[in-house]
Structure 1
Amino acid sequence: MDYLEFKITCLEQFREILIAELSMIGFDSFLETEEGIDAYTLESDFDRGAFDEVIAQYKVDAEITLEEGVMPKVNWNEEWEKNYDPIAVDDLVYVRASFHPSKPEFKHEIVINPKMSFGTGHHATTFQMLRHQGQIDHQGKRVLDVGSGTGILAVMAHLLGASEIEAFDIDDWCVENGNENFDLNGLTTRMELGTIREVNPQGEFDIVLANINKNVLLDEMSIYADLLKSEGFLLLSGFYTEDIEDLDACAKPLGLELISQQSKDNWAALILKKAR
């Protein structure tokens, strides 16, 4: 069966958004490129109407241009290995794939084989979440990772000494990939499938991690607050710098105080603390 190939040129901040949107309509493999993303789907699974709708939705804002083609056979492991470089978050953590050599000079090291899941540390949101995790005491703490993707933030929590970690995602492929990455990094935790309401984690947690998107964060903020212990920490990312005010306004009435923020490539990340 042939694969259809779509070479999509877009603004960098829209890469993960487009990957998420296309994965919902049957695309099963992606490669990030310097210009944007290459997206692939089996010819038999392709829904032209749904695809055109996604492209039309983001075409202007993301400055999308598009080339279509057919690729008869693809060795996906070989393809993403060619396009996956290790990253370093300060001197805190070195994120690499299993085929990269180790670098013991870093405090921590995470092995992530991402396949099509989201969160390798390359994107500004994941990078900043890892950096913020390094600023929070995880030792002996109970941690919840909401929308885990590859599981990279849960792995970081494990390396920082968390005693109990719960993680879940709405995408079954992410759950499968996340559990593979947990195994690579020595976690016995199993990622669950579902939304936070479906999984229904039982609090209280010392730390809640949520790298998703603005609308989901606003919708679920009260759930995060209820799950947090007094003086617990909520780490958020997945939104633009100009969205900080809206998220802070949503969090304050719930007893969540903004104590730290950072921005990278116009993507923001926040640390909030629950009042006593």
Structure 2
Amino acid sequence: MEYLEFKISCKEEFIEILIAELAEVGFDSFLEKEDGLEAYIQEDQFDRVAFQEVLDKYISMANISVEEGRMEKVNWNTEWEKNYDPIAVGEEVYVRASFHAPKEGVKHEIVINPKMSFGTGHHATTYLMLTHLLNLPHHGKRVIDIGAGTGILAILSHKLGAATVEAFDIDDWCVDNGNENFELNGMSHVKMGLGTVREVNPQGQFDIVIANINKNVLLDEMEVYETLVKPGGYLLLSGFYDHDVIDIEASTASFGLSKIDQMVKDKWCAVVFKKK
């Protein structure tokens, strides 16, 4: 599967805004640069009209210039190794790549070798979701990660004692990468699925449902998420800005889900809901 690559130069204060806007029109991977960002999208998912509408909103204010290209699959482990540093989430979680040395005394160490997949803990949404998961009961629970990317959130749920973990993504690169990361973290028995939540059609209900995607997809799939959450279970959502919470809450409330926790980092938001 080929990706389109867009090297976007802009003012620094508009980088996060453009990432959020482009994520909502289908872009699934980003690299932040000092002078802008690189944005990637599967060729068959690209909507040029929607892309141009995003640029037009900010082009004069942000001094935007764009260089477009096409790319074949590359070794993203090598690319990430150039800039990928380990991160700590509180005092309990340490996320590193296999080429980093282990850290002594860490309760939960997660090894992630990212390819094109989104989710290394560096982005605010992933960091926030990891933090939320630490605060939820996992022992003996059933967990599902929708749009799992690298599989990092599913991996933490497993390490926190979940009895079963399911995960899937729409990107075949993510599926391959997620399965590799599962093996690195002692989860070879878990296989990541391919497709949307409607295509995968998970069976039964779950104690914890995770979806770190983007606002438009979350709103579209909310009715499905509600059916997957057990009564008394939790729904964790991220991939949107803090000013979008009002729309997310309006949707979850209509399905009997109540907000119990919310965190914001770099204007990105992650929210925990509980089913009545």
Normalised to the residue count of structure 1, the TM-score between the two structures is: 0.84
Aligned to 1:56: 52
Query: How far has the Cα of 1:247 moved from its partner?
Result: 1.2
Tell me which residue corresponds to 1:260. Answer: 261
Report 1:1-276 matches (<5 A): 6-10=6-10, 11-15=15-19, 18=22, 31-38=31-38, 53=49, 55-59=51-55, 60-61=57-58, 63=62, 64-67=64-67, 76-187=76-187, 188-275=189-276
2:79 is paired with a residue whose SS is helix
Partner SS, residue 140 of structure 2? coil
Secondary structure of the structure 1 residue equivalent to 2:150: coil
Shift of 1:22: 7.6
Q: 1:19 to 1:263 in 2, by over 3 A?
A: closer
Q: Sequence identity, in percent?
A: 60
Is residue 145–residue 208 contact of structure 1 (8 Å, CA) maintained in 2?
A: yes
Relative distance call for 1:202 and 1:15 in structure 2 (3 A) is same
For residue 110 of structure 2, give the secondary structure of its aligned residue in structure 1. Answer: strand
Is the Cα contact below 8 Å between 2:27 and 2:39 reproduced in 1? no
Alignment partner of 1:263: what SS?
Answer: strand
Structure 1: gaps spanning 5 or more residues: none
User: What SS does the corresponding residue of 2:81 show, helix, strand or coil?
Assistant: helix
Alignment partner of 1:165: what SS? Answer: strand
| Cα-to-partner distance string for 1:85-134 (whole Å, 9 max, x where unaligned) | 11111112111111111112322111111111111111111110000000
Structure 1 residues 32 and 116, CA, compared in 2 at 3 Å: closer, same or farther? farther
Unaligned 5+ runs, structure 2: none
In 2, Cα distance between equivalents of 1:177 and 1:19? 20
Shift of 1:32: 3.9
1:52 & 1:97 partners in 2: Cα distance?
35
Task: Supply the RMSD in Å over aligned alpha carbons.
Answer: 3.1
Query: Residues of 2 paired with 1:112 and 1:140: CA distance?
Result: 24
1:185-237 deviation digits (Å, cap 9, x = unpaired): 11121000011111000121100001011111112112111111111011110
* Contact persistence 2:175–2:193 (CA under 8 A): yes
In 2, distance between residues paired with 1:4 and 1:271?
34
Q: Report how far residue 75 of structure 1 moved.
A: 6.3
- Pair 161,97 (structure 1): closer, same or farther in 2 beyond 3 Å: same
For residues 193 and 176 of structure 2, the distance between their equivalents in structure 1, rounded to whole angstroms, comes to 9
Contact 2:129 2:236 in 1 (8 A): yes
Tell me the amino acid that sits aligned with residue 234 of structure 1: L
Give the TM-score, by structure 2 length.
0.84
Read off the aligned partner of 2:231 and give its amino acid letter: S
**Structure 1 pair 271–70 and aligned structure 2 pair: CA distance change class (3 A):** closer
Helix, strand or coil for the counterpart of 1:85? coil
1:2-34 deviation digits (Å, cap 9, x = unpaired): x9975323513434764796868xxxx964433
- How far apart are the structure 2 equivalents of 1:165 and 1:4? 32
- The residue identity in structure 2 corresponding to 1:159 is K
What is the count of residue pairs matched by the alignment?
A: 264
